[in-house]
Structure 1
Amino acid sequence: MPESTELDLKLASGTVHAHRWGPTDAPLALCVHGLSANLHAFDYLAERIAGPSRQLVALDLRGRGRSEITPPGSYGLTAHAQDALEAATLLGAERFDYVGWSLGALIGITAAGLAGERLRSLTMIDHIGTVDPAAYAAVRAGLNRLDAVVDDPADYLAAIRAAGVVTPWSEYWDRIYRYELGERADGRYSPVTDKAACLEDLDHAATGEVVSSWAKITMPALLLRATVPFGGGLIVSEADAVALRRAAPGVRVVDVDRNHFGIMTDDGMVDATGELLAKG
């Protein structure tokens, strides 16, 4: 298991919590999670590719996990991309590899448009900016879990598992969703992730504005596309993957036989991401 530490980064926009695997002087891969997830989404990847010659740092986006909840209007792809670039600077990396899942992938594409010269590589895990309406509806409905109040964290995990969306389930998902909970003054538990922040980001991402930055993906880049439907649709259709490659011919597309969640604990995802990072 690679050495790991937790840290807080004081950004201009607010305090962001992070988890580092690997030594501080190794090349940096900055990892950014999906809409309502948290930094533990990258545990599976980090435990397999971080080591003496590679550090992975995963962030909790503002409004999620242990990061600061900032005011309405402070979110959106550009704001998060600026956070990611500033975080890399504070971590001592002028150039770095970027790995993003879902919303995190869109933030990476936005960062490529803002400061592409800083990205040594870009890995986009199952999102590029356009979404099937059925999948979008499933994502939005999934945010309702953030209203939950439970007596026992096990009940929260059991309800999410029973919904059958996160598959295959493993102890990594226990980590992600247990971390999502905080204890209330009354001794019960509720998610600490801010639903309003997630909705603001979801609405912003749904505009498809990020597509205008596809052509800015000139660094070595990888799209990992989940081919098992989620909520009745795909997050990235085959046609959209083709359109991305027309705009950014250097992007390598790898299909993974998982859904939008299962891709994060898939060895094919690990292998393809590790291969791209090794080229840096």
Structure 2
Amino acid sequence: MQAQTMAIAERQQTSTVRVNGIRLAYSEWPGERGPIICLPSVGGHKGTFNHIAQSLAPRYRVLALDLRGRGDSDKPAEGYGFAYHARDVLAFADALGIDSFAFIGHSFGATVAVYTASIRPKRIRVIVLIDGGCDPNEEVLEAMRPMLRRMGMAFPSMDEYLAAMRTLPFFREWNPTLEQYLRDDVNILPDGSVRSKVSSEALERDLDVHFYYSMCVHFPTVTCPTLFIRPGNGLLGDRTHILDEREAAAFVAWFPNCQRVDVPGVNHYTMVHHDNPPVIPPIQTFLSEQQI
């Protein structure tokens, strides 16, 4: 695991860019083709895509972004919801001289990808939706609340923080990649305590918009090739899914050009926070088929 982490770090470049009056942080892996822009979940950060990006580079140039209010990006008091995040992504691409790109999103990041592809279809070549892109339901939001509450909490030490994370049902499939992701998600304060880098206010504002916004109106207008990847073990490693079987079939049918792949043995989180994310092969196949 240590050698794998070092290999990722050697190729990974981190930087910031100023767009729409705020500073956005991102990681970049150089590559010949693409580019591919990646967005994490509502409470996630750019480290979500470390292993995925490493597998795609150097064939593809990959950029993983911290959304406003998350990670190492600025955390303004205002400017949340899909329209603002889409505007940030497009301005980010403009700042880096990127005209069109492939878009990979996990969970909430996938929903931002759908919104962006709907309003700016000529700029998005393909989208990959990793267990996201849809409207949430109350059951899923309730299941996520224990994980989301950690965002506003301080823990006395890194060890106590990690121990608390291990008790959450989302993280029962513990692995070294997940642990490193969680370590990177917090700031260590002068007294040794740790607190998540995610703004709890930003999270609440985004979830308010997400819950009351009907994303399905955008599905038929997403004309680019689309891949939807769904975990076999659901949200928590049980039968709670972002989309159940019936909903998943209906979701895919909304899109003019969408295919679906199910990956067994992982949940909503470990499908990306994994030493060898099982989403990599279907993503590679899809990108190759679409000649990205």
TM range (shorter): over 0.9
Q: 1:236 is matched with which residue: 243, 247, 272?
A: 243
Measure the CA separation in 2 of the matches of 1:252 and 1:167.
29
Q: State the partner residue of 1:10.
A: 18
Q: Deviations over 1:104-132 (max 9, x none)?
A: 00000000111011111100010122334
SS of the residue corresponding to residue 168 of structure 1 reads coil
1:154 aligns with 2:162: no
Q: 2:68 is matched with which residue: 59, 62, 69?
A: 62
Q: State the partner residue of 2:3.
A: none
Measure the CA separation in 2 of the matches of 1:136 and 1:151.
27
Q: How does 1:60-209 map to 2 (within 5 A)?
A: 60-72=66-78, 74-209=79-214
Contact 1:37/1:176, CA 8 A, preserved across alignment? no
Contact 2:146/2:168, CA 8 A, preserved across alignment? no
SS of the residue corresponding to residue 271 of structure 2 reads helix
TM-score scaled to structure 1, two decimals? 0.92
Q: State the partner residue of 1:34.
A: 41
Measure the CA separation in 1 of the matches of 2:226 and 2:50.
21
Amino acid at match of 2:77: P
Amino acid at match of 2:57: A
Measure the CA separation in 1 of the matches of 2:145 and 2:212.
15
Structure 1 residue 275: deviation in Å?
A: 1.6
Contact 1:32/1:99, CA 8 A, preserved across alignment? yes
Further displaced range: 130-139 or 27-36: 130-139
Measure the CA separation in 2 of the matches of 1:90 and 1:275.
29
SS of the residue corresponding to residue 52 of structure 2 reads helix
Contact 1:96/1:119, CA 8 A, preserved across alignment? yes
Q: State the partner residue of 2:29.
A: 21
Measure the CA separation in 2 of the matches of 1:40 and 1:254.
23
Contact 1:129/1:205, CA 8 A, preserved across alignment? no
Structure 1 residue 206: deviation in Å?
A: 1.5
Amino acid at match of 1:41: T
Measure the CA separation in 1 of the matches of 2:61 and 2:183.
25
Contact 1:181/1:191, CA 8 A, preserved across alignment? yes
Q: State the partner residue of 1:271.
A: 281
TM-score scaled to structure 2, two decimals? 0.89
Closer, same or farther: CA 183–245 of 1 in aligned 2, 3 Å: closer
Contact 1:130/1:240, CA 8 A, preserved across alignment? no
> Any gaps of 5 or more consecutive residues in structure 1?
none
> Any gaps of 5 or more consecutive residues in structure 2?
1-6
Structure 1 residue 227: deviation in Å?
A: 2.9
Amino acid at match of 2:244: S
Structure 1 residue 244: deviation in Å?
A: 2.5
Contact 2:17/2:25, CA 8 A, preserved across alignment? yes
Aligned length: 277
% identical aligned pairs: 23
Higher relative contact order (CA 8 A, sep 6+): 1
Q: State the partner residue of 1:261.
A: 269
Q: What is the RMSD of the two structures over their aligned residues, measured on CA atoms?
A: 1.8
Structure 1 residue 168: deviation in Å?
A: 2.7
Measure the CA separation in 1 of the matches of 2:241 and 2:118.
25
Structure 1 residue 246: deviation in Å?
A: 2.5
Amino acid at match of 1:133: E
Measure the CA separation in 2 of the matches of 1:88 and 1:237.
34
Amino acid at match of 1:10: R
Runs (4+) of structure 1 moved beyond 6 Å? none
SS of the residue corresponding to residue 212 of structure 2 reads coil
